[in-house]
Amino acid sequence: MTFIKTKEPGTVMRRKLARIHKEDIGAHEALMRKYPAIFRQRTLGPGESCMSWGLDCGKGWLKLIDELCDSLQFMASINLYPRVEATQVKEKLGRLCFYYRILDDPTEPKDRTKLGRSYEYECGYIAGLIAAAEHRSHEICEDCGKPGVLSVTATGWRRTVCPRHAKAKGYKPLKPYDWRRMLNRKEGKDAKV
């Protein structure tokens, strides 16, 4: 593990060089500077926010995160939806995880009845945008951004990678789990399905 001091005051980013190379740190920082309201917590210390570690994913997903943040910012500024603040953005079990919090108070004097939607609807729409981006990450190589599949190593580490990176790093495509086979084993049956 390597500690890299960034230009942001009080921010220390820890990176595993096997996943994120030093030259990729600039792209991560540029994306966070592009959306300062969403990534406001990036300047907080490690004890205060997980965003102090930065975007803990490969550069292949940066375009996906950029599109998501662009949509969230548009919805907040133009359509008067609640503002979103990222609390942690990382790869987990081969998929993007975007943890966030809603900043707006539902009791604010924003007249939602004139807008024709409720606060719950707005929060649900935001959750849907984020869930869609997380789901799309299963189809995008985390390293290069090309089409990829969820893959696994012999030791069980999962990542979404393209065929080129899968071959280079020893990943094999993850097969869908066969529930019927698992149930037959629990019941002591060896019948083929």
Give pLDDT, residue 166: 92
Per-residue pLDDT band for 11 (boundaries 50, 70, 90) equals: very low
% of the chain residues with pLDDT over 70: 73
d(CA 160, CA 94): 5
Please give the pLDDT value at position 114. 60
Please identify which residue in the block is written with the tokens 């030259």. Answer: 23
Q: What angle do CA 38, 141, 179 make, to 5 degrees?
A: 105
Question: Strand order in 149-152's β-sheet?
Answer: 158-161, 149-152, 172-173
Q: What does the mean pLDDT of the chain come to?
A: 79
The pLDDT of residue 165 is above 90 = yes
Res. 116 pLDDT band, cuts 50 70 90: confident
Mean pLDDT of 16-44: 77
Decide if 14 contacts 1 (C-beta within 8 A): yes
DSSP states of 111-152: -HHHHT--HHHHHHHHHHHHHHHHHHGGGB-TTTSSB-EEEE
Indicate the residue type of 55.
L
Considering the entire predicted model, what is its pTM?
0.77
∠ Cα 98 67 65 (to 5°) = 35
